[in-house]
Protein backbone atom coordinates (compact mmCIF):
# COMPACT_ATOMS: atom_id res chain seq x y z
CA UNK A 1 0.00 0.00 0.00
CA UNK A 2 1.41 3.38 -1.04
CA UNK A 3 2.23 5.84 1.71
CA UNK A 4 2.51 9.62 1.68
CA UNK A 5 6.23 9.11 1.11
CA UNK A 6 5.44 7.65 -2.32
CA UNK A 7 3.66 10.82 -3.48
CA UNK A 8 5.20 14.14 -4.42
CA UNK A 9 4.69 16.85 -1.81
CA UNK A 10 5.41 20.49 -2.56
CA UNK A 11 8.34 21.60 -0.37
CA UNK A 12 6.36 24.75 0.40
CA UNK A 13 4.03 22.48 2.31
CA UNK A 14 6.44 19.91 3.71
CA UNK A 15 9.42 22.17 4.54
CA UNK A 16 8.90 25.91 4.44
CA UNK A 17 5.49 27.43 5.20
CA UNK A 18 3.74 27.84 8.56
CA UNK A 19 0.94 25.66 9.87
CA UNK A 20 -1.56 28.53 9.75
CA UNK A 21 -0.82 29.35 6.13
CA UNK A 22 -0.98 25.70 5.08
CA UNK A 23 -4.31 25.36 6.87
CA UNK A 24 -5.68 28.44 5.12
CA UNK A 25 -5.14 26.92 1.68
CA UNK A 26 -6.19 23.40 2.68
CA UNK A 27 -9.16 21.58 1.12
CA UNK A 28 -11.01 21.72 4.44
CA UNK A 29 -10.74 25.51 4.68
CA UNK A 30 -11.64 25.97 1.02
CA UNK A 31 -14.73 23.79 1.09
CA UNK A 32 -15.82 24.93 4.54
CA UNK A 33 -15.63 28.49 3.22
CA UNK A 34 -17.98 27.46 0.40
CA UNK A 35 -20.42 26.12 2.97
CA UNK A 36 -20.33 29.36 4.94
CA UNK A 37 -21.10 31.25 1.75
CA UNK A 38 -24.05 28.97 1.05
CA UNK A 39 -25.25 29.58 4.62
CA UNK A 40 -24.94 33.36 4.18
CA UNK A 41 -26.92 33.15 0.94
CA UNK A 42 -29.70 31.06 2.46
CA UNK A 43 -29.90 33.24 5.58
CA UNK A 44 -30.13 36.40 3.51
CA UNK A 45 -32.69 34.95 1.10
CA UNK A 46 -34.82 33.90 4.08
CA UNK A 47 -34.49 37.37 5.63
CA UNK A 48 -35.81 38.83 2.38
CA UNK A 49 -38.87 36.61 2.37
CA UNK A 50 -37.99 33.49 0.41
CA UNK A 51 -39.57 30.26 1.74
CA UNK A 52 -36.59 28.72 3.56
CA UNK A 53 -37.31 26.90 6.81
CA UNK A 54 -35.66 27.54 10.16
CA UNK A 55 -34.68 23.86 10.17
CA UNK A 56 -32.84 24.28 6.87
CA UNK A 57 -30.87 27.23 8.23
CA UNK A 58 -30.14 25.38 11.47
CA UNK A 59 -28.79 22.32 9.66
CA UNK A 60 -26.65 24.43 7.33
CA UNK A 61 -25.20 26.33 10.29
CA UNK A 62 -24.43 23.10 12.15
CA UNK A 63 -22.36 21.65 9.30
CA UNK A 64 -20.31 24.51 7.88
CA UNK A 65 -17.04 22.65 8.53
CA UNK A 66 -16.63 19.70 6.23
CA UNK A 67 -15.59 16.55 8.09
CA UNK A 68 -13.01 13.94 7.08
CA UNK A 69 -15.79 11.36 6.70
CA UNK A 70 -17.45 13.49 3.99
CA UNK A 71 -14.54 13.89 1.58
CA UNK A 72 -14.72 10.42 0.03
CA UNK A 73 -18.40 10.74 -0.83
CA UNK A 74 -17.94 14.18 -2.35
CA UNK A 75 -14.97 12.94 -4.38
CA UNK A 76 -17.04 10.07 -5.74
CA UNK A 77 -19.84 12.46 -6.65
CA UNK A 78 -17.40 14.78 -8.40
CA UNK A 79 -15.98 11.86 -10.34
CA UNK A 80 -19.51 11.08 -11.52
CA UNK A 81 -20.66 14.64 -12.19
CA UNK A 82 -17.31 16.10 -13.35
CA UNK A 83 -18.19 19.26 -11.41
CA UNK A 84 -16.62 20.10 -8.06
CA UNK A 85 -19.13 22.71 -6.94
CA UNK A 86 -22.17 20.52 -7.65
CA UNK A 87 -20.44 17.64 -5.85
CA UNK A 88 -20.12 19.83 -2.78
CA UNK A 89 -23.72 21.05 -3.09
CA UNK A 90 -24.67 17.37 -2.97
CA UNK A 91 -22.34 16.71 -0.03
CA UNK A 92 -23.70 19.64 1.98
CA UNK A 93 -27.23 18.42 1.29
CA UNK A 94 -26.36 15.02 2.69
CA UNK A 95 -25.61 16.48 6.13
CA UNK A 96 -28.26 19.22 5.90
CA UNK A 97 -31.17 17.39 4.20
CA UNK A 98 -33.73 20.01 5.18
CA UNK A 99 -31.75 22.50 3.09
CA UNK A 100 -30.85 20.21 0.19
CA UNK A 101 -33.34 21.83 -2.15
CA UNK A 102 -32.36 25.44 -1.51
CA UNK A 103 -28.56 25.25 -1.29
CA UNK A 104 -27.05 27.43 -4.05
CA UNK A 105 -30.48 28.92 -4.89
CA UNK A 106 -30.02 31.39 -7.76
CA UNK A 107 -26.24 31.18 -7.62
CA UNK A 108 -23.58 30.18 -10.12
CA UNK A 109 -20.44 28.20 -9.23
CA UNK A 110 -18.37 31.36 -8.97
CA UNK A 111 -20.57 32.54 -6.12
CA UNK A 112 -18.64 30.13 -3.91
CA UNK A 113 -15.37 29.72 -5.82
CA UNK A 114 -14.66 33.40 -6.41
CA UNK A 115 -16.13 34.82 -3.24
CA UNK A 116 -14.33 32.05 -1.41
CA UNK A 117 -11.03 32.96 -3.03
CA UNK A 118 -11.52 36.60 -2.08
CA UNK A 119 -12.03 35.57 1.54
CA UNK A 120 -8.84 33.47 1.39
CA UNK A 121 -6.87 36.31 -0.22
CA UNK A 122 -7.97 38.65 2.55
CA UNK A 123 -7.16 36.22 5.34
CA UNK A 124 -3.84 35.32 3.71
CA UNK A 125 -2.79 38.96 3.68
CA UNK A 126 -3.94 39.30 7.29
CA UNK A 127 -1.58 36.43 8.18
CA UNK A 128 1.37 37.93 6.30
CA UNK A 129 1.13 41.56 7.39
CA UNK A 130 1.91 41.08 11.11
CA UNK A 131 4.83 38.82 10.18
CA UNK A 132 6.19 41.49 7.88
CA UNK A 133 5.72 44.12 10.58
CA UNK A 134 7.62 41.93 13.05
CA UNK A 135 10.41 41.52 10.52
CA UNK A 136 10.69 45.29 10.13
CA UNK A 137 10.63 45.80 13.90
CA UNK A 138 13.47 43.34 14.49
CA UNK A 139 15.59 44.85 11.77
CA UNK A 140 14.94 48.36 13.10
CA UNK A 141 16.22 47.26 16.52
CA UNK A 142 19.36 46.00 14.80
CA UNK A 143 19.70 49.30 12.91
CA UNK A 144 19.48 51.33 16.09
CA UNK A 145 22.01 49.13 17.88
CA UNK A 146 24.57 49.59 15.12
CA UNK A 147 23.60 53.07 13.95
CA UNK A 148 27.09 54.48 14.63
CA UNK A 149 29.32 51.50 13.81
CA UNK A 150 31.31 52.61 10.73
CA UNK A 151 31.78 50.17 7.86
CA UNK A 152 32.85 50.36 4.26
CA UNK A 153 30.23 51.57 1.85
CA UNK A 154 30.31 50.23 -1.69
CA UNK A 155 29.37 51.67 -5.04
CA UNK A 156 29.89 49.51 -8.14
CA UNK A 157 30.94 46.81 -5.61
CA UNK A 158 34.05 48.90 -4.98
CA UNK A 159 34.93 50.49 -1.61
CA UNK A 160 33.38 53.94 -1.32
CA UNK A 161 32.78 56.45 1.46
CA UNK A 162 32.05 54.94 4.85
CA UNK A 163 28.49 54.29 6.03
CA UNK A 164 27.35 52.51 9.19
CA UNK A 165 26.04 49.00 9.74
CA UNK A 166 22.77 50.45 11.03
CA UNK A 167 22.35 52.85 8.14
CA UNK A 168 22.76 50.03 5.63
CA UNK A 169 20.09 48.04 7.51
CA UNK A 170 17.77 51.03 7.08
CA UNK A 171 18.07 50.64 3.31
CA UNK A 172 16.66 47.14 3.75
CA UNK A 173 13.93 48.38 6.08
CA UNK A 174 12.93 51.09 3.64
CA UNK A 175 12.26 48.45 0.98
CA UNK A 176 10.32 46.31 3.47
CA UNK A 177 8.19 49.33 4.38
CA UNK A 178 7.26 49.63 0.71
CA UNK A 179 6.22 45.97 0.77
CA UNK A 180 4.17 46.61 3.90
CA UNK A 181 2.41 49.49 2.15
CA UNK A 182 1.79 47.39 -0.97
CA UNK A 183 0.35 44.45 0.95
CA UNK A 184 -1.84 46.73 3.06
CA UNK A 185 -3.14 48.47 -0.04
CA UNK A 186 -3.80 45.16 -1.80
CA UNK A 187 -5.77 43.95 1.23
CA UNK A 188 -7.69 47.18 1.71
CA UNK A 189 -8.60 47.32 -1.98
CA UNK A 190 -10.19 43.86 -1.93
CA UNK A 191 -13.93 43.85 -2.56
CA UNK A 192 -16.45 41.03 -2.55
CA UNK A 193 -17.83 39.68 -5.81
CA UNK A 194 -21.13 39.29 -4.07
CA UNK A 195 -24.34 37.81 -5.48
CA UNK A 196 -24.23 38.45 -9.20
CA UNK A 197 -25.35 35.33 -11.10
CA UNK A 198 -23.94 33.65 -14.16
CA UNK A 199 -22.77 36.67 -16.17
CA UNK A 200 -22.89 39.29 -13.45
CA UNK A 201 -26.36 40.67 -14.34
CA UNK A 202 -28.15 39.21 -11.28
CA UNK A 203 -30.88 37.96 -13.65
CA UNK A 204 -31.49 34.74 -11.70
CA UNK A 205 -31.98 36.63 -8.44
CA UNK A 206 -34.26 39.17 -10.11
CA UNK A 207 -36.40 36.24 -11.21
CA UNK A 208 -36.41 34.69 -7.72
CA UNK A 209 -37.61 37.99 -6.24
CA UNK A 210 -40.19 38.51 -9.01
CA UNK A 211 -38.55 41.57 -10.48
CA UNK A 212 -37.94 43.37 -7.17
CA UNK A 213 -34.64 45.16 -7.79
CA UNK A 214 -34.40 46.48 -4.24
CA UNK A 215 -34.48 42.97 -2.81
CA UNK A 216 -31.76 41.84 -5.21
CA UNK A 217 -29.59 44.75 -4.08
CA UNK A 218 -30.39 44.02 -0.45
CA UNK A 219 -29.41 40.38 -0.96
CA UNK A 220 -26.05 41.45 -2.37
CA UNK A 221 -25.48 43.80 0.55
CA UNK A 222 -26.54 41.29 3.23
CA UNK A 223 -24.26 38.53 1.95
CA UNK A 224 -21.37 40.97 1.53
CA UNK A 225 -21.77 42.13 5.13
CA UNK A 226 -22.03 38.57 6.47
CA UNK A 227 -18.80 37.69 4.63
CA UNK A 228 -16.98 40.55 6.37
CA UNK A 229 -16.47 42.87 3.40
CA UNK A 230 -17.30 46.57 3.37
CA UNK A 231 -18.32 46.57 -0.27
CA UNK A 232 -18.83 44.42 -3.35
CA UNK A 233 -18.15 45.08 -7.00
CA UNK A 234 -21.10 46.79 -8.66
CA UNK A 235 -19.93 45.42 -11.99
CA UNK A 236 -18.62 41.90 -12.45
CA UNK A 237 -18.63 39.13 -14.99
CA UNK A 238 -19.09 35.55 -13.88
CA UNK A 239 -15.89 36.04 -11.89
CA UNK A 240 -14.33 38.85 -9.92
CA UNK A 241 -11.78 40.73 -12.06
CA UNK A 242 -8.66 38.62 -12.55
CA UNK A 243 -6.81 41.93 -12.34
CA UNK A 244 -7.27 41.52 -8.58
CA UNK A 245 -5.08 38.41 -8.57
CA UNK A 246 -2.42 40.31 -10.49
CA UNK A 247 -2.59 43.16 -7.99
CA UNK A 248 -2.18 40.86 -4.98
CA UNK A 249 0.49 38.62 -6.50
CA UNK A 250 2.50 41.64 -7.66
CA UNK A 251 2.64 42.82 -4.05
CA UNK A 252 3.76 39.36 -2.92
CA UNK A 253 6.29 39.12 -5.73
CA UNK A 254 7.76 42.46 -4.68
CA UNK A 255 8.25 41.07 -1.19
CA UNK A 256 10.12 38.13 -2.73
CA UNK A 257 12.41 40.54 -4.59
CA UNK A 258 13.14 42.42 -1.37
CA UNK A 259 13.96 39.17 0.41
CA UNK A 260 16.45 38.17 -2.26
CA UNK A 261 18.02 41.62 -2.33
CA UNK A 262 18.56 41.72 1.46
CA UNK A 263 19.74 38.12 1.65
CA UNK A 264 22.25 38.76 -1.13
CA UNK A 265 23.78 41.62 0.86
CA UNK A 266 23.98 39.37 3.93
CA UNK A 267 25.66 36.62 1.90
CA UNK A 268 28.23 39.07 0.53
CA UNK A 269 28.93 40.42 4.03
CA UNK A 270 29.24 36.84 5.29
CA UNK A 271 31.78 36.22 2.54
CA UNK A 272 33.78 39.15 3.94
CA UNK A 273 33.24 37.83 7.50
CA UNK A 274 31.72 41.15 8.61
CA UNK A 275 28.23 39.82 9.30
CA UNK A 276 26.66 36.40 9.79
CA UNK A 277 23.16 35.03 10.04
CA UNK A 278 22.38 32.96 13.16
CA UNK A 279 24.35 29.72 13.34
CA UNK A 280 23.08 27.15 15.82
CA UNK A 281 25.30 25.18 18.18
CA UNK A 282 24.89 21.82 16.44
CA UNK A 283 24.34 23.13 12.91
CA UNK A 284 26.44 21.59 10.14
CA UNK A 285 27.68 23.95 7.47
CA UNK A 286 29.08 21.37 5.08
CA UNK A 287 29.07 17.58 4.91
CA UNK A 288 32.72 17.60 3.88
CA UNK A 289 34.22 20.81 5.27
CA UNK A 290 33.51 20.81 8.98
CA UNK A 291 34.72 24.37 9.49
CA UNK A 292 32.15 25.88 7.10
CA UNK A 293 29.47 28.33 8.29
CA UNK A 294 27.45 28.63 5.12
CA UNK A 295 24.73 31.32 4.99
CA UNK A 296 22.11 28.68 4.27
CA UNK A 297 19.10 30.67 5.50
CA UNK A 298 20.00 33.65 3.34
CA UNK A 299 20.64 31.37 0.39
CA UNK A 300 17.23 29.77 0.91
CA UNK A 301 15.65 33.21 1.14
CA UNK A 302 17.24 34.11 -2.20
CA UNK A 303 15.95 30.88 -3.69
CA UNK A 304 12.38 31.22 -2.43
CA UNK A 305 12.31 34.96 -3.11
CA UNK A 306 13.32 34.29 -6.70
CA UNK A 307 10.53 31.74 -7.09
CA UNK A 308 7.99 34.13 -5.57
CA UNK A 309 9.00 36.94 -7.93
CA UNK A 310 8.15 34.79 -10.92
CA UNK A 311 4.66 33.78 -9.82
CA UNK A 312 2.95 37.12 -10.66
CA UNK A 313 3.53 36.38 -14.34
CA UNK A 314 0.93 33.64 -14.04
CA UNK A 315 -1.61 36.17 -12.77
CA UNK A 316 -0.65 38.58 -15.54
CA UNK A 317 -1.01 35.97 -18.26
CA UNK A 318 -4.25 34.62 -16.82
CA UNK A 319 -5.80 38.08 -16.60
CA UNK A 320 -5.06 39.02 -20.19
CA UNK A 321 -6.18 35.61 -21.51
CA UNK A 322 -9.75 35.93 -20.20
CA UNK A 323 -12.47 36.09 -22.87
CA UNK A 324 -15.62 38.18 -22.47
CA UNK A 325 -17.54 37.24 -19.28
CA UNK A 326 -15.14 34.37 -18.45
CA UNK A 327 -13.29 31.28 -19.64
CA UNK A 328 -12.14 28.33 -17.55
CA UNK A 329 -8.49 28.36 -18.59
CA UNK A 330 -7.78 30.36 -15.43
CA UNK A 331 -8.88 27.68 -12.98
CA UNK A 332 -6.01 25.18 -12.89
CA UNK A 333 -3.41 27.95 -13.00
CA UNK A 334 -4.97 29.87 -10.12
CA UNK A 335 -5.24 26.72 -7.98
CA UNK A 336 -1.44 26.57 -8.16
CA UNK A 337 -0.17 30.13 -8.44
CA UNK A 338 -2.28 31.81 -5.74
CA UNK A 339 -1.69 29.32 -2.87
CA UNK A 340 1.98 28.97 -3.87
CA UNK A 341 2.42 32.74 -3.74
CA UNK A 342 1.05 32.94 -0.21
CA UNK A 343 2.90 29.86 1.03
CA UNK A 344 6.14 31.16 -0.49
CA UNK A 345 5.70 34.68 0.92
CA UNK A 346 5.01 33.11 4.31
CA UNK A 347 8.19 31.04 4.04
CA UNK A 348 10.22 34.14 3.12
CA UNK A 349 8.94 36.01 6.16
CA UNK A 350 9.69 33.08 8.45
CA UNK A 351 13.25 33.14 7.16
CA UNK A 352 13.61 36.90 7.49
CA UNK A 353 12.27 36.84 11.04
CA UNK A 354 14.71 34.11 11.94
CA UNK A 355 17.70 35.79 10.30
CA UNK A 356 16.98 39.23 11.76
CA UNK A 357 16.53 37.75 15.22
CA UNK A 358 20.20 36.82 15.47
CA UNK A 359 22.42 38.71 13.04
CA UNK A 360 26.02 38.56 14.27
CA UNK A 361 28.33 41.53 13.62
CA UNK A 362 32.14 41.31 13.73
CA UNK A 363 33.45 44.84 14.45
CA UNK A 364 37.12 43.79 14.40
CA UNK A 365 36.84 42.46 10.84
CA UNK A 366 34.89 45.53 9.80
CA UNK A 367 37.64 47.76 11.25
CA UNK A 368 40.30 45.68 9.49
CA UNK A 369 38.60 46.27 6.15
CA UNK A 370 38.22 49.97 6.92
CA UNK A 371 41.93 50.19 7.74
CA UNK A 372 42.77 48.67 4.37
CA UNK A 373 40.87 51.36 2.48
CA UNK A 374 40.72 54.38 4.77
CA UNK A 375 44.16 55.77 3.91
CA UNK A 376 43.02 56.43 0.36
CA UNK A 377 39.67 57.84 1.54
CA UNK A 378 41.45 60.13 4.03
CA UNK A 379 43.61 61.82 1.43
CA UNK A 380 41.09 64.61 0.79
CA UNK A 381 40.91 65.38 4.51
CA UNK A 382 44.72 65.42 4.64
CA UNK A 383 44.93 67.81 1.69
CA UNK A 384 42.42 70.16 3.38
CA UNK A 385 44.47 70.04 6.60
CA UNK A 386 47.58 70.89 4.60
CA UNK A 387 45.89 73.96 3.11
CA UNK A 388 44.68 75.04 6.55
CA UNK A 389 48.29 74.77 7.76
CA UNK A 390 49.47 77.12 4.99
CA UNK A 391 50.72 74.55 2.46
CA UNK A 392 49.87 74.62 -1.24
CA UNK A 393 46.88 72.52 -2.22
CA UNK A 394 48.45 71.61 -5.56
CA UNK A 395 51.71 70.59 -3.91
CA UNK A 396 49.83 68.52 -1.33
CA UNK A 397 47.81 66.84 -4.05
CA UNK A 398 50.94 65.93 -6.01
CA UNK A 399 52.75 64.57 -2.94
CA UNK A 400 49.76 62.38 -2.07
CA UNK A 401 49.27 61.27 -5.67
CA UNK A 402 52.82 59.93 -5.86
CA UNK A 403 52.67 58.27 -2.43
CA UNK A 404 49.23 56.76 -3.21
CA UNK A 405 50.49 55.12 -6.36
CA UNK A 406 53.46 53.69 -4.48
CA UNK A 407 51.21 52.31 -1.74
CA UNK A 408 48.75 50.90 -4.29
CA UNK A 409 51.60 49.07 -6.02
CA UNK A 410 52.56 47.43 -2.71
CA UNK A 411 48.96 46.26 -2.23
CA UNK A 412 48.26 45.09 -5.78
CA UNK A 413 51.64 43.86 -6.97
CA UNK A 414 53.19 42.55 -3.77
CA UNK A 415 50.08 41.61 -1.77
CA UNK A 416 51.23 43.85 1.06
CA UNK A 417 49.21 46.08 3.34
CA UNK A 418 48.23 49.64 2.53
CA UNK A 419 51.13 51.70 3.94
CA UNK A 420 50.10 55.10 2.57
CA UNK A 421 49.79 56.66 6.02
CA UNK A 422 53.26 55.44 7.04
CA UNK A 423 54.63 57.01 3.85
CA UNK A 424 52.86 60.29 4.63
CA UNK A 425 54.23 60.29 8.18
CA UNK A 426 57.76 59.88 6.81
CA UNK A 427 57.46 62.55 4.12
CA UNK A 428 58.95 65.93 5.22
CA UNK A 429 56.26 67.80 3.29
CA UNK A 430 53.57 66.72 5.77
CA UNK A 431 55.47 67.58 8.94
CA UNK A 432 53.19 70.58 9.73
CA UNK A 433 50.13 68.32 10.09
CA UNK A 434 51.62 65.15 11.59
CA UNK A 435 49.90 65.80 14.94
CA UNK A 436 46.51 65.79 13.14
CA UNK A 437 46.91 62.51 11.27
CA UNK A 438 45.27 60.25 13.86
CA UNK A 439 42.23 62.51 14.10
CA UNK A 440 41.94 62.69 10.33
CA UNK A 441 41.81 58.86 10.25
CA UNK A 442 39.04 58.43 12.82
CA UNK A 443 36.35 56.41 10.93
CA UNK A 444 33.56 58.24 12.75
CA UNK A 445 34.57 61.45 11.01
CA UNK A 446 33.72 59.79 7.67
CA UNK A 447 30.14 58.65 8.36
CA UNK A 448 28.45 62.02 8.10
CA UNK A 449 24.95 62.04 9.57
CA UNK A 450 24.38 58.30 9.29
CA UNK A 451 23.58 57.81 13.03
CA UNK A 452 21.18 60.75 13.05
CA UNK A 453 19.55 59.53 9.84
CA UNK A 454 18.93 56.12 11.43
CA UNK A 455 17.35 57.70 14.50
CA UNK A 456 15.08 59.95 12.45
CA UNK A 457 14.11 57.18 10.03
CA UNK A 458 13.10 54.77 12.80
CA UNK A 459 11.14 57.47 14.61
CA UNK A 460 9.45 59.15 11.65
CA UNK A 461 8.85 56.27 9.24
CA UNK A 462 9.19 52.92 11.00
CA UNK A 463 7.35 53.75 14.22
CA UNK A 464 4.12 55.06 12.66
CA UNK A 465 4.03 52.25 10.08
CA UNK A 466 4.21 49.58 12.79
CA UNK A 467 1.95 51.22 15.37
CA UNK A 468 -1.16 49.26 14.41
CA UNK A 469 0.75 45.96 14.67
CA UNK A 470 2.01 46.52 18.22
CA UNK A 471 0.24 43.58 19.86
CA UNK A 472 1.02 41.21 16.98
CA UNK A 473 4.69 42.18 17.14
CA UNK A 474 4.73 41.37 20.85
CA UNK A 475 3.20 37.98 20.11
CA UNK A 476 5.79 37.38 17.42
CA UNK A 477 8.58 38.29 19.83
CA UNK A 478 7.20 35.95 22.49
CA UNK A 479 6.75 33.01 20.13
CA UNK A 480 10.04 33.05 18.21
CA UNK A 481 9.52 31.92 14.64
CA UNK A 482 11.61 28.88 13.76
CA UNK A 483 12.89 27.58 10.46
Is residue 381 scored above 90 in pLDDT?
A: no
Give CATH for domain 110-191+241-280+289-359+455-478.
1.20.200.10
* CATH for 16-106 (1.10.275.10, 3.40.190.10, 1.10.10.350, 2.30.30.100): 1.10.275.10
Confidence of residue 379 (pLDDT cuts 50, 70, 90): confident
Average model confidence (pLDDT) across the chain: 93
User: How much is the pLDDT for 483?
Assistant: 44
Measured from the Cβ of residue 334, the count of other Cβ atoms closer than 10 Å reads 19
CB-based contacts of 130: which residues, under 8 Å, 6+ apart?
469, 472, 473, 475, 476
Instruction: Give the whole-number percent of the chain exceeding pLDDT 70.
Output: 95
CATH class of 379-440: mainly alpha
* Cα–Cα dist 201/234, whole Å: 10
pLDDT at 452 over 70: yes
Task: Dump pLDDT digits (tens) for 314-328.
Answer: 999 999 999 999 999
Structure confidence at residue 372 (pLDDT): 87
| CB contact at 8 A, 112 and 86 | no
pLDDT at 287: 47
Q: Residue 388's pLDDT band (boundaries 50, 70, 90)? A: very high
- Position 303 scores a pLDDT of 98
CATH 1.20.200.10 domain extents, the chain: 110-191+241-280+289-359+455-478
Q: CATH 1.10.40 spans which residues of the chain? A: 379-440
- Quick check: 203 and 197 in contact, CB under 8 A? yes
Within a 13 Å sphere around the CA of 311, how many CA atoms are in the beta-carbon half?
30
Distance CA 397, CA 383 (A): 6
In which residue ranges of the chain is CATH 1.10.275.10 found?
A: 16-106
- Give the phi and the psi of residue 2 in degrees, each rounded to 5: -70, 140
Catalytic site residues? 156, 286
pLDDT at 377: 84
Amino acid sequence: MASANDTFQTPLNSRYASTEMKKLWSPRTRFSTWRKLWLYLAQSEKELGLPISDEAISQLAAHTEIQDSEFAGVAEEEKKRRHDVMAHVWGYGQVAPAAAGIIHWGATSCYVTDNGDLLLLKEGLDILLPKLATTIYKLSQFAEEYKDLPCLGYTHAQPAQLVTVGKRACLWIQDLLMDLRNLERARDDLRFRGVKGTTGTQASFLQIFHGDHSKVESLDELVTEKAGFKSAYIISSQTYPRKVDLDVLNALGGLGATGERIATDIRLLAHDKELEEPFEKDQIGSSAMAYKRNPMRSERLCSLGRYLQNLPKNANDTYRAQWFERTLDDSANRRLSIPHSFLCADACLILMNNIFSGLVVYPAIIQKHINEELPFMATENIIMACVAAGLSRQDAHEEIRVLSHEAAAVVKQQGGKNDLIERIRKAPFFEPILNQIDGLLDPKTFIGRAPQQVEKFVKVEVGPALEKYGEKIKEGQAAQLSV
